[in-house]
């Protein structure tokens, strides 16, 4: 019986880990569809490479920072198979599976940043930034919120009467990723020709809407693993998390479709906006609250994307700051609103705790991201040369385009 329970927990977490891994294919295709053809290969390779770099960084350093446990014992020890295995690892390799599950969250941060800095960033400096963020800067914040380390959650409880609630990472993952990306985008500067000296804004159209849509679908579907499996134990599962995710996704899409006048970029980012916003409060809201949270996020994304690109002239290619940074921030706060019992929620949440924790996440991420990319900028440089950008990251970095057969035919 105990064995079955533990095994089912491991199985449960494994499905979550796999579903969020599949989301990374979604990140890749969302970027492939949005960038120009000459940068598609680079988009694909960045996401997959950063995922694998993150795996190594989080295994050897990051997870230990966040949860105070390392994997340097023998296989029977760390998987709980040996009789003398430390209890902390659990049975059936539970802690290893938990590492896998939480790695897929950690690796989302470089994947988010990737979409902002697309089409003009150097390859290896971005790889180094990914390693640094996933090894150090992401787990440092994660440790305080989810690892409950260093007394931060106790301070919240003492001060506000409730912990800072971020069930599945509106703040820890998305807000942090989005604000780090903003710092990186500002340090990198806009793409060549995006903003003319006379003040004109030049639109750079996406290359491939079906690929963009494929990315959106992969992210949306995988997101149910992101949220539902954040329970981490099968006996803590609840259909409420799934339905809240669904309702927020629907609210996000419908609001973005209306606010964005049926534009495919908005339609396909809308559900993601809703899903970003519902992560924090998905276990405590009523589904109607989730629908509202998602709808606000969908509209917020459309408004902030246009503001960011056309007024503020911040060349955040995929709009990852509006999507993850702002909708994440909204999600952290929304958990404090719609999670309250007065609005039909489960309760146990405090609005000021949510505001403080959420804003702290944004500020921390902006500073940490700024630090990482600033150091890289003044040392190795983070931007392609003008010529490289002109020819495209694919040929400049990878010596090949996305459609080599077509290039060959064309060159004849």
Of residues 61 through 120, those in contact with its own copies by CB under 8 A are 71, 74-76, 78-79, 81, 92-100, 103
Select the residue interacting with its own copies from 159, 341, 379, 385 (CB under 8 A). Answer: 341
Select the residue interacting with its own copies from 116, 125, 225, 322 (CB under 8 A). Answer: 225
Pure H helices in 314-350: 320, 327-338
Is residue 388 a contact point for its own copies (CB under 8 A)?
A: no
Q: Least distance in Å: CB of 243 to its own copies? A: 4
What's the half-sphere exposure (Cβ side, CA atoms, 13 Å) at 313? 14
Burial letters for 353-381: b for 16+ Cβ neighbours within 10 Å, e otherwise?
Answer: bbbbbbebbbebbbebbbebbeebeeeee
Rounded to 5°, the CA angle 388-36-30 comes to: 120
Is residue 126 a contact point for its own copies (CB under 8 A)?
A: no
Select the residue interacting with its own copies from 68, 151, 161, 210 (CB under 8 A). Answer: 210
Is residue 261 a contact point for its own copies (CB under 8 A)?
A: yes
Residues in the interface with its own copies (CB under 8 A) total 117
Q: Least distance in Å: CB of 284 to its own copies? A: 7
Rounded to 5°, the CA angle 232-357-326 comes to: 90
Of residues 12 through 71, those in contact with its own copies by CB under 8 A are 12-15, 17-19, 21-22, 24-25, 28-29, 32, 36-37, 40-41, 44-45, 48-49, 51-53, 55-56, 59, 71
Is residue 243 a contact point for its own copies (CB under 8 A)?
A: yes
3-state secondary structure 130-194: HHHHHHHHHHHHHHHHCCCCCCHHHHHHHHHCCCCCCCCCHHHHHHHHHHHHHHHHHHHCCCCCC
Distance between alpha carbon 227 and the CA centroid of its chain, in Å?
12
Is residue 155 a contact point for its own copies (CB under 8 A)?
A: no
Is residue 321 a contact point for its own copies (CB under 8 A)?
A: no
Distance CA 328, CA 358 (A): 8
3-state secondary structure 8-37: HHHHHHHHHHHHHHHHHHHHHHHHHHHCCH
Is residue 348 a contact point for its own copies (CB under 8 A)?
A: no
Residue 366 contacts residue 374 (beta carbons within 8 Å): no
Of residues 283 through 302, those in contact with its own copies by CB under 8 A are 284-287, 289, 291
Select the residue interacting with its own copies from 136, 157, 192, 208 (CB under 8 A). Answer: 208
Which residue, 107 or 186, is less far from its own copies as judged by CB?
107
What's the half-sphere exposure (Cβ side, CA atoms, 13 Å) at 155? 9
Q: Least distance in Å: CB of 351 to its own copies? A: 17
Is residue 10 a contact point for its own copies (CB under 8 A)?
A: yes
Which residue, 36 or 324, is less far from its own copies as judged by CB?
36
Q: Least distance in Å: CB of 12 to its own copies? A: 6
Piece of the chain touching its own copies by CB under 8 A; list 149-157, 177-185, 223-231, 369-377: 223-231
Residue labelled with tokens 């920072």: 65
Piece of the chain touching its own copies by CB under 8 A; list 162-170, 191-199, 266-274, 325-333: 266-274
- Structure tokens given for 410: 């064309």
Is residue 224 a contact point for its own copies (CB under 8 A)?
A: yes
Q: Least distance in Å: CB of 84 to its own copies? A: 14
Residue 168 contacts residue 230 (beta carbons within 8 Å): yes
């Amino acid at each position: 019986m105990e064995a079955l329970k533990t095994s089912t927990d491991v199985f449960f977490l494994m499905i979550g880990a796999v579903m969020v891994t599949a989301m990374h294919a979604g990140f890749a295709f969302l970027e492939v569809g949005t960038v120009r053809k000459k940068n598609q290969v680079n988009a694909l390779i960045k996401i997959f490479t950063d995922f694998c770099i993150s795996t190594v960084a989080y295994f050897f350093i990051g997870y230990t920072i966040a949860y105070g446990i390392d994997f340097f014992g023998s296989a029977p020890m760390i998987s709980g198979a040996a009789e003398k295995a430390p209890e902390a690892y659990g049975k059936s390799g539970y802690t290893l599976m938990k590492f896998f599950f939480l790695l897929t969250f950690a690796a989302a941060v470089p994947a988010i940043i990737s979409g902002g800095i697309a089409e003009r960033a150097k390859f290896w400096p971005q790889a180094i930034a990914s390693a640094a963020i996933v090894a150090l800067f992401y787990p440092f914040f994660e440790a305080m919120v989810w690892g409950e380390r260093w007394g931060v959650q106790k301070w919240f409880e003492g001060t506000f009467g409730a912990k800072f609630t971020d069930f599945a990472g509106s703040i820890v993952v998305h807000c942090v990723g989005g604000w780090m990306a903003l710092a990186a985008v500002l340090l990198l500067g806009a793409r060549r020709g995006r903003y003319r000296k006379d003040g004109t804004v030049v639109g750079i159209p996406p290359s491939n809407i079906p690929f963009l849509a494929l990315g959106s679908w992969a992210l949306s579907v995988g997101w149910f693993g992101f949220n539902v499996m954040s329970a981490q134990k099968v006996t803590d599962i609840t259909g409420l998390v799934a339905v809240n995710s669904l309702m927020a996704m629907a609210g996000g899409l419908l609001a973005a479709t209306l606010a964005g006048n049926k534009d495919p970029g908005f339609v396909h980012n809308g559900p993601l906006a809703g899903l970003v916003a519902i992560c924090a409060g998905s276990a405590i809201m009523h589904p109607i609250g989730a629908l509202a949270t998602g709808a606000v996020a969908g509209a917020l994304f459309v408004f902030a994307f246009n503001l960011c690109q056309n007024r503020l002239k911040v060349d955040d290619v995929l709009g990852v700051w509006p999507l993850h940074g702002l909708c994440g921030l909204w999600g952290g706060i929304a958990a404090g609103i719609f999670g309250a019992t007065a609005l039909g929620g489960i309760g146990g949440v405090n609005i000021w705790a949510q505001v403080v924790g959420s804003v702290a996440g944004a500020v921390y991420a902006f500073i940490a991201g700024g630090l990482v990319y600033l150091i890289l900028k003044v040392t190795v440089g983070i931007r392609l040369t003008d010529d490289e950008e002109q020819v495209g990251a694919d040929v400049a970095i990878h010596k090949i385009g996305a459609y080599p057969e077509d290039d060959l035919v064309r060159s004849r």
